[in-house]
Structure 1
Amino acid sequence: MKKIIIGSLFSMLLLNSCSVDDSINEDPNVAYTTTAESVVSYAQKSLSDYVNTPSVNENNFRLTMQYWQETTYVNESNYDFVNRNVSNNIWTDNYVQVLNNLSKAKGLIEAYTPAAAEVSTWPVTKKNQLAIVDLMMVYTYQNLVDTFGNIPYSQALQLDAYPLPVYDDAATIYSSLIQRAKDDVLALTSGSSFGAGDYYYQGDTAKWKKFGNSLLLKLGIAIADSNPSLAQSTVANAIAGGVMTSAGDNCQLPYQTASPNYNPLYDALVASGRDDYIAAAPFVNFLKANADPRISVYYQLNEDDEYLGQDVGQPGEVDVYSRIGEFAHEPDHPGIILNYTEVAFYLAEAAARWGTSAPATAYATAVQASMNEWGIASADASAYLAAHPYNAGNWKESIGLQAWAAFFNQGQTSWNFYRRLDYPILSAPSTAAPEAGGKVPVRMTYPVREQSVNGSNWSAASAAIGGDKLTTKIFWDKF
C-alpha cells in the first residue's frame, strides 16, 4: 500500500506526497496515517492550484473567455480540449486531489479521540471543522456541475461500494448543495477549528460563516433562470446571514515566493521559462474602446508601446502582442477562491432581478470593488463609472459586460456570468475545432476515461443532458 503523508504547504514534502488516487489499492486494515488538518491543508492548495492555474492541460477558461491567447500551440484557443485530455485532468484535480481528500478529512475528524485537555472544547471544534470541510466540498461540487452538468454525486467518493458511480441530475445536486451550505453556516459557531492549517482563513469561523453565506449567494444566483423561487429564497437567506463586505473577507490562498509554493500563474509565465501566452484581441479591444484603466494592470505594453491583442485562435509573437500583466509574474500573488468583487457582482444581479437593493447603486459598488481590487485610482474609477452608468433597460448587458471586465483573473467565474447573462457577445474563431460547432463552448465534455471505464453511466448521463457536447447547455443556462 502507498500511504498518504501530507506535509505543510510551506515544505517540499507537499509536492512529494502521494495523491489520494492511490487509495484505490489502499489496505482497509491499515490506518490512514495523517491528521485532518494536514489533509485539509493539502486539499486547499490543490483547489487553489486548479482554480488559479492557466495550464492548458487543466484550466482553459481564460482562453475561452478571450482574455488570453496562446502564442504557438493554439489547440485550446480553438477549443480542442481532447488533445491534452483536459477533462480528465479537471476530473482528477477536483474529485481526487480535492474532494477525496476532504472526504478523508471528514472521516479523520469523526474518528478523532480528543486528549484530556481537549475534551471540553472538542465538540465545538469538531462541529466547526466538519462545517468548514463541507463548505469546501460544496464549492468544489458546484464548480464541477457548472463545468460538466450531471456528475457523480450521491455515489461519489465511495470507491469500495461504488467503483462505477452513477451521474446525478445537476439541478438535484444544486438543491442538495444549497441545503448543505445552509446547514454548514448554521453549524459554524465561535470557537476553534483548524488554526494555522487552514490556509484560507486561519481557522476564523466568523470569516468562514461569511464565506458560507457568500457561497449560498453564488448558488442562488446561478439558478436564477432555471428555478427562480429557490434562487430568490436562497439569495435572501444568504444576504440576511451576512455575505462578504470587503476585500478583507476574501477567501484566497497566500502563495509564497519560493518553489513549490508560488502561484501557478508565476509557474506558467516565469518559472517554466516559456512564452506561451499573449493578450487576446477581443478583450483588449473592448478595454481600449471603453477607456478602461484596468488595461495597464491586465496587460503590458508591447514593443511599440501599445496594448495589442492577437486574434483568437491564431498564433502570435510575444512582444509584438502584449504580455499578461505584471501581477501574474508575482510569485506570491494570492490565489482567489471567492472574493468580495465576485460577491458584489452577485449582489448587483440580485438587485436587478429582485430589487434586493437599489440596482444602480449595487452595480456601481461592484464596479468600484473591481477597481479597488486592481489598485485603480479613485478619480479614474469615478470617471469610468460616470462614462458607463447602469442601464436598467438592459441590465444583463450592463452587468455582463462589467463582469467580463472585472474577472480577468477568474476565468470560470467570468464564464458563468457569460453563460447566464449572455454578455459579452463572443464569437468562435473560424479555425475552431469541429466539436465546438462554430460556437464558444458552454460546457466541457466528460472525460474520455469515463467513456471507457464508466461507460454505461456516462452514456446515461450524456443522454440525460442532451448530448455530451461542448454546445450542450448546463441546466441553469436557459437563454
Structure 2
Amino acid sequence: MKKIILSTICSVLLLNSCRSDESINTDPNVAYTTTAETVVSYAQKGLSDYVNTPSVNENNFRLTMQYWQETTYVNESNYDFVNRNVSNNIWTSNYVDVLNNLNQAKKLIEAYSPTPAEFSSWQVKKKNQLAIVDLMMVFTYQNIVDTFGNIPYTQALQLESIPLPAYDDGAAIYSSLITRARADVQALSSGDSFGEGDYYYKGDVTKWKKFGNSLLLKLGIAIADSNNSLAQAAVTEAISGGVFTSIADNCQLPYQTASPNYNPIYDALVASGRDDYIAAAPFVNFLLENSDPRISSYYQLNEDDEYVGQEVGQPGEVDVFSRIGTFAEQPDFPGVILNYTEVAFYLAEAAARWGISDAATAYNNAVLASLSEWNVSAEDATAYLTAHPYNVSNWKESIGLQAWAAFFNQGQTSWNFYRRLDYPVLVAPTTAAPEANKTVPTRMTYPVREQSVNRTNWSTASNAIGGDFLYTKLFWDKF
C-alpha cells in the first residue's frame, strides 16, 4: 500500500466555503495539475482522521456520550466547546479537508482526457469514479447536518462566486442526499474506479455499491421520525439493493504504524506522551451492571485491578481511574467510516419500526455483530445475549442501550442513536457550561467565524432551527 501522506499539491484544495481571502487562490507554490486519485486519497484520510480522532479541538462525541472523561482540562466534558473553537474546527475539517477536495476531484475527473489506450473503458471508469466521490460527499454532508442542523449546501463549495453561502433546510438536504445516494448506487457498474488511490476499498466497485446501499439505509433511518414515508422507502430500497453483511464489507482506513499515518487515537493517547483521558463513570458502571464482556476491550484495569470511571465533568488521575483500552495503543488500528455493526443496528431499528424482518432476530444479529467486532468469545456472546433479550414492548430502549454499548469507538454514531431513540438516559454534569442549559447537547452551535463573517446567513439559519443553542433539537430529533 502506498503511503498515505501526500505532497503539498493538495493544499490548494483547503479552501473554506465561507472564507473571503482571495489571496488563498493564487498561491504561487501550489501545483494545480494533480490527479483525481491523489485528491481522493487525501480526502479519505481527512475524513477518517476527523471521524476517528478524539481530539478535544474538534471531535468530542466520546465525551458527550460519557464513554471518556478528561483528566485535567475538563472544559469539553462540561460542554464548553467555545474555548477551543471546536465548531470552527469541525466546519473546516469537513468543508475544507473533505468536501472541497472531493469537489475538486469531481472537476479533475470531468476534465480528464483519456489516452487512446484508456478510451474504450473510460466512460465506465468515469461514472464509477464520480459515483464514489459523490457517495463520500453524501456521507460527509450527512455528518455535518447531524452535527449542526441547517448548513450551507446548494451554495457551498463555490468560493469564487459565492464566498458567503446561504444555509439550506436540513430536511431538504436529507431529501437531496437520499436522491444522490440512490443515483450513485445506480451509476456504479462493473469496471475500474480508483484502484490503489482508494484507501477504503482499493477501487472495488462491488464493495462501493454495498457502501452506497448501507449509506442509503443510514440516511433513511435517521429521518424515520420526521419523514416516515421517505425513510421507509429509502430503507426498503437499500436493503433490496444489498447492504453490509459482514465485517468484510467494513468501510475503514487501514492506518499505518509510522507517523504521520497512524491512527489519530494512537496519536492522542500514546504518541503525544500525554495522559488526557480516562474512563467515564456512567458507561463503566453500565458495563459492570450488565456483566458486559466488552469492558476489557474498552478499558484497562486501574492500579487496584478494577474498572473504575470518573464522574463526568470532574478531573481525575490516570491509573486511579481506568485508562482507555489497549486497542488505542495500536498505531495501525483501523479508522472506521461505516461498519457492519452500525448497519446491523440500522437493520434492527428498521425491523422494529416497520416489520421489514423479524425484530428480535435483527436485534440479536446487531448485538452479536458488536460482540464479535470486539473479539468476545461465542460462549460469552451467547450468555450476554441470553441475559439481554429484545424487549418488544420498548424496542427503543433495547436498541438504544445496546447501541450505546456497541459504539464506544464511534462517538457520533452513538450520539445519533441517543438523540433519535432517547436512550440511554444521560444526565449532564452539575458543572456543565451554562450554554448547555443543564442538558446533554443535542447539537453543536455554529462556528463563531460564521457569526462574524457570514452573519446574515448565520442569523437566518439560527432563527430557522429555533436558535443557535447546544440544546436546540435537529429536525429529525422529534421526541
TM-score range relative to shorter protein: over 0.9
Preserved CA contact (<8 Å) 2:62 2:409: yes
* Per-residue deviation, 1:33: 2.0
The reply on whether 1:65 has 2:65 as its aligned counterpart is yes
Equivalent residues in 2 for 1:12-51, closer than 5 Å: 12-14=5-7, 18=11, 20-21=13-14, 24=22, 25-27=24-26, 32-51=32-51
Preserved CA contact (<8 Å) 2:6 2:42: no
Preserved CA contact (<8 Å) 2:152 2:168: yes
Match of 1:191 in 2: 191
Distance between the aligned counterparts of 1:177 and 1:120, measured in 2? 31
Distance between the aligned counterparts of 2:183 and 2:399, measured in 1? 31
Preserved CA contact (<8 Å) 1:153 1:168: yes
**CA distance 1:12–1:186, shift in 2 (3 Å):** closer
* Per-residue deviation, 1:9: 6.4
Match of 1:375 in 2: 375
Equivalent residues in 2 for 1:41-440, closer than 5 Å: 41-440=41-440
Give per-residue Cα distances to partners, 1:178-199, cap 9 Å, x unaligned.
Answer: 0000000000000000000000
Count of equivalent residues:
472
Q: Which runs of 5+ in 2 are unaligned?
A: 17-21
* Per-residue deviation, 1:32: 2.1
Give per-residue Cα distances to partners, 1:275-321, cap 9 Å, x unaligned.
Answer: 00000000000000000000000000000000000000000000000
**CA distance 1:14–1:361, shift in 2 (3 Å):** farther
Q: Which runs of 5+ in 1 are unaligned?
A: 1-7
Distance between the aligned counterparts of 1:16 and 1:321, measured in 2? 45
Distance between the aligned counterparts of 1:309 and 1:41, measured in 2? 38
**CA distance 1:28–1:53, shift in 2 (3 Å):** closer
- Corresponding residue SS for 1:444: coil
Residue type of the alignment partner of 1:260: P
Distance between the aligned counterparts of 2:204 and 2:325, measured in 1? 32
2:3 counterpart (10, 20, 26): 10
So what's the TM-score if we normalise by structure 1? 0.97
So what's the TM-score if we normalise by structure 2? 0.97
Distance between the aligned counterparts of 2:236 and 2:151, measured in 1? 28
Give the alignment's Cα RMSD to 1 decimal: 1.5
- Corresponding residue SS for 1:69: strand
Preserved CA contact (<8 Å) 1:88 1:448: yes
Residue type of the alignment partner of 2:324: I
Give per-residue Cα distances to partners, 1:430-450, cap 9 Å, x unaligned.
Answer: 000000000000000000000
Distance between the aligned counterparts of 1:417 and 1:76, measured in 2? 21
Give per-residue Cα distances to partners, 1:118-174, cap 9 Å, x unaligned.
Answer: 000000000000000000000000000000000000000011111000000000000
Match of 1:4 in 2: none
Residue type of the alignment partner of 2:289: A
Distance between the aligned counterparts of 1:397 and 1:427, measured in 2? 16
Match of 1:449 in 2: 449
- Corresponding residue SS for 2:117: helix
* Per-residue deviation, 1:22: 5.2
Give per-residue Cα distances to partners, 1:384-428, cap 9 Å, x unaligned.
Answer: 000000000000000000000000000000000000000000000
Match of 1:460 in 2: 460
Match of 1:3 in 2: none
* Per-residue deviation, 1:13: 4.1
Distance between the aligned counterparts of 2:82 and 2:4, measured in 1? 34
**CA distance 1:12–1:145, shift in 2 (3 Å):** closer
- Corresponding residue SS for 1:120: helix
Residue type of the alignment partner of 2:13: V
Preserved CA contact (<8 Å) 1:302 1:308: yes
Distance between the aligned counterparts of 1:128 and 1:395, measured in 2? 39
Residue type of the alignment partner of 1:421: L
